[in-house]
Amino acid sequence: MERYLLPFLFLFSSFVFAGSDTSTTKIKQLYVNAYWVMAEVEVDIIGGRNNLPSECRNSPFVAITPTDAGYDIITTTLMMAYAANKTVRFWVEGCSGQNRQQIKIISVRVYG
């Protein structure tokens, strides 16, 4: 049993979720169309922007596309947070949005 467990653990130990947390912020504007939803925000990426691909590292926008997991609920949450002027925080990973040049939203937290 142990001789099978060790190779199994080594095989799957390289799969690490490489996302990053952001600082809290308010959404300045939303850009919504059929292909993406982008929110302009001023955030610091916890751990630094160097964890992101160079294509979107310096973007002031976070984004999500209809093919991304959680698109409907994240889009609804962004619209609600923007309309209510709520403070938000994101978990981000990689690039998304227009020409894949914005920071990809994985999740969003809204503060009361």
* Each residue's pLDDT expressed in tens, for the chain with a length of 112 residues: 555 544 544 444 444 446 888 999 999 999 999 999 999 999 888 888 888 899 998 999 999 999 999 999 999 999 999 999 999 999 999 999 999 999 999 999 999 8
Determine the pLDDT at residue 19. Answer: 82
> Would 76 be classed as within a structural domain?
yes
Q: Is residue 34 part of a domain?
A: yes
- For residue 10, tell me if it sits in a domain: no
Q: Is residue 8 part of a domain?
A: no
List the end-to-end C-alpha distance of the chain, in Å, as a whole number. 50
30-57 confidence digits (pLDDT tens): 999 999 999 999 988 888 888 889 999 8
Structural domains of the chain, count: 1
Does 16 map to a domain? no
Global pTM reads 0.80
- Please, which residues bridge with residue 3 across strands? none
H/E segment holding residue 83: helix 71-83
Checking DSSP bridges between strand 87-96 and strand 61-64, what pairing results, if any?
unpaired
Residue 85 lies in a domain: yes
Is residue 79 a part of any domain in this protein?
yes
88 found inside a domain: yes
Domain of 101? 26-111
Alpha carbon distance 47, 99 (integer Å): 25
